[in-house]
Structure 1
Amino acid sequence: MDNGTSVPERAEVRPRQPLPPLVVAPPDPKPAGHRRAGGRLYVIDGIRLLAALMVAAHHYAGTWRADRPGNLIWDRPVSEIMPTVFRFASYGWIGVEIFFVISGFVICMSCWGRTPRQFFVSRVIRLYPAYWFAVLFTTAALIAVPGVWERLRLREILLNLTMLQSGSGVPNVDGVYWTLWSELRFYLLFLVVVAMGLTYRRVVVFCSVWGAVAMLAPVARLPLLELVANPDGAWYFIAGLALYLMHRFGQDLLLWGILAMAWLMGQLELGNRIEEVERVSGWRGSVAIFTVFLLFMVAVALGYTDRIRWKWLVTAGAMTYPLYLVHYAAGTALIARLRDTMDARLLIAVLVTGFLLLSYLIHRFVERPLSRLLKQGLNTSFARVRNADRRA
């Protein structure tokens, strides 16, 4: 269209000057209409519950076969009691890696545009109410059903309420709490980026630096560096961060490269975990499950699942964290006590159903009211600190 300022045909048009080679302009955010109204990705809530059920199935029916005795949950190997169930449940431990990827995605999404104070408050009110209940519930369950798990001393139980027991060399009340230590270290590292202000470029740099340190830490033989870098879980969180950037800004070669690196490092960690801890499933099957999950998350990030808006998935997602916290020690202790009273498959179904109901009650009557009180209290405290600083 000629607006009166067009260049004559014979005039020479100067070419645009290229950007300096080291400057990479981040992509423009997706149009507001690309993302589903309200911003909630319902399908992620469903994936979270599925991952929790995978872990529960693994703990109940996928951790002991004929060549791996060593616990008192069942009176004989699960691979003999229910071989078909065992064949699938033996891969359920991958639900933890799925949790880590989703955590990277969701944390980046929920913290975008927030201050460090808001980030801190959101993590406290999300993690602690259900966790405090779980510590007390599991302790009571192990007192009521002794003989399977060793009960900790009172001072160790009290320290567990801080969620910092792994950093103090104190055992967990429930073995599943080990993942919370990985989550806390991720939050601490990501808080640095939140304080700087989240942008595409800063999150990419964070992924690159963290990934490099996570690879170098074990070779450097520096325990503190390895503790902070968390090489066993780093690349799963990094995958989640890259997926969220795809969701917010669209796909590009750089993000695909980060995701490919996360897959390559992840498959190695899966193999190491099988050899060192699980020993009940194959590397190929584990990598196949992990690969399908990542590809599905790519579809989520690119908007192919935005039409899934089932409201019940919100409730399913809310039940996930309580279910994960309470199912293991208490559930396996009950299996040891009740295994001779009914069919093994029925017993597992009853336990899972019962813990799902308990998880909903925890969310409804523990998490919701305590979260509101904690949020109000923390916001009041931060306001007082801010006012005190101004007066000073």
Structure 2
Amino acid sequence: MAVSERRPGLDLLRVAAVAAVAWFHFAFRMQVTGEAGPADFGEPGGFARYGYLGVSVFFAISGYVISISTEGRSAYGFAVARFARLWPGFVVCMSLTALVTLLVPGLGFPITAAQYLANLTMVAPFLGQPFMDGAYWSIVVEILFYGWVALLMAFGLWQRWPVAIAIVWLVIAALDQAAIGSGLLRKLFLTDFAGFFVFGMMLRAAERQVPGARVVLAAALVQAISGGVLFAARLPAVYGGEPFDPLTVAGLVLGALLLLSGLSRLRLPDGVTAAAGVAGRMTYPLYLLHQHIGYAAFFLLGPVLGGAATAMALAVALGGAALIITGRIEKPAARAVRRGGLWLGEWAQVRAAPLLVVRRRR
């Protein structure tokens, strides 16, 4: 995306979202679960417990950005572009996480060759293996969203009926959360996060003045708030009874989505926009690297340096790694994957053309 086409507000929001998730993991989760070992860094942070909502903000941004990225693309072109964007950086970050985890066995995260190979696909649980890092679950959610988008694009529905698709998705999510409670629906249709994805989708549709988009945008906001509150209600069972205030969750979701709506229209000078773009792209490797590598840092350095100094050292190290991965690895690798994918698509078309001619003659 050219500098003039970027939305720097969304890049800045990505930075805030990944910082919130890291804050949740290091100031709350690892304190409750003991995943960084027995080191005592004090009581779990009170407000840090809500940092996990940064992931939901990522989903809302994704709904908006993916809607833009489908414009003028075929389903195959979209799939290739998404794979090129996600997979190279994922493989590098996952491999680094595996290496650090192997070097710090005291963390208690065992690794096998089968687990590593399964994680190369980005969907390890579908192959019966655990994620290399606990943060990867959201990548699978994103991939499922992309899969639905590509399927709808292939049938010509995504472009023609964006508002109708959004309404159907919100209805499925509402019915599942209010009455059905199906684990299959929850996983297949991402009912916990439907409101966030649809909010982003309809924000873009409203920009394009698609009829009915603003009404569904408001409905998605309500669904996102209710979904966020219901999701938070399940968290005390995961975190030893630690409370998550529903009013705080509702307020944070409302504020974050309204902020997204405003920031999507923010325009800044080209130099600032370019810098924000670099920071925004860095959030993907930062997110992939931060959790288990962060636990390793607190496990090794925390007892010596203390929590604050360890956090600062970790931020510098992960920021430098993310910058290198973004600039030196992800970009050239993504270009190579896109070229390979497009070549494969053209080759398949050439091979299929004679078969189509034969069928037409019949």
Q: TM-score range by the shorter chain?
A: 0.7 to 0.9
Residue matched to 1:13: none
AA in 1 matched with 2:26: Y
User: Could you tell me how far apart the structure 2 residues matched to 1:192 and 1:123 are?
Assistant: 14
CA distance in 1, matches of 2:99, 2:91: 13
Q: 1:139–1:151: 8 Å Cα contact kept in structure 2?
A: no
1:53 Cα shift? Answer: 1.3
CA offset at residue 281 of structure 1? 4.4
Residue 203 of structure 2 corresponds to 243
Q: 1:263 to 1:377 in 2, by over 3 A?
A: closer
The structure that has the greater radius of gyration is 1
Instruction: Write out per-residue CA displacement over residues 89-148 of structure 1, whole angstroms, 9 at most, x where no aligned residue.
Output: 332211111111111111111112211011111111011001001121111101111111
TM-score (norm 1): 0.81
Give the conservation status (yes or no) of the 8 Å contact 1:217–1:231.
yes
User: Which of 238, 243, 258 does residue 277 from structure 1 map onto?
Assistant: 238
CA RMSD for the aligned pairs?
2.5
Shift of 1:265: 2.7
Distance, in Å, in 2 between the alignment partners of 1:141 and 1:340 is 18
1:61 is aligned to 2:27: yes
Q: 1:246 to 1:37 in 2, by over 3 A?
A: farther
> Alignment identity in percent?
26
- Whole-angstrom distance in 2 between the partners of 1:100 and 1:387: 37
Aligned match of 1:288:
251
Is residue 344 from structure 1 mapped to residue 292 from structure 2 by the alignment? no
Range 142-151 or range 241-250, more displaced: 241-250
Instruction: Kindly tell me the number of residue pairs found equivalent between the two proteins.
Output: 348
The SS at the match of 1:105 is: helix
2: CA distance, partners of 1:260 / 1:230: 16
Assess if the C-alpha contact under 8 Å between 2:174 and 2:223 holds in 1: no
- Counterpart pick for 2:222 among 253, 261, 264: 261
1:41 aligns with 2:21: no
Letter in 2 for 1:203: P
Q: Residues 244 and 236 of structure 1: is their aligned pair in 2 closer, same or farther, counting only changes over 3 Å?
A: same
Q: Note the 1:99-248 alignment, pairs <5 A.
A: 99-197=58-156, 202-217=161-176, 219-220=179-180, 223-248=183-208
| Structure 1 residues 155-203: Cα deviation after superposition (integer angstroms, max 9, x where no partner) | 1210110012122332101000011111111111122332244767611
**TM-score, with structure 2 as normaliser:** 0.88
**Which has more helix, going by share of residues?**
2
Larger displacement relative to structure 2 (198-207 or 113-122): 198-207
How far apart are the structure 2 equivalents of 1:306 and 1:295?
A: 17
Cα distance, 1:359 vs structure 2: 0.4
Structure 1 residue runs of 5 or longer lacking an equivalent are 1-35
Structure 1 Cα separation of the partners of residues 243 and 35 of structure 2: 14
In structure 2, the partner of 1:4 is none
SS at 2:208 equivalent: helix
Residue 359 of structure 2 is matched in structure 1 by none
1:60-85 alpha-carbon deviations (Å, 9 max, x no partner): 222255xx454444522532xxx7xx
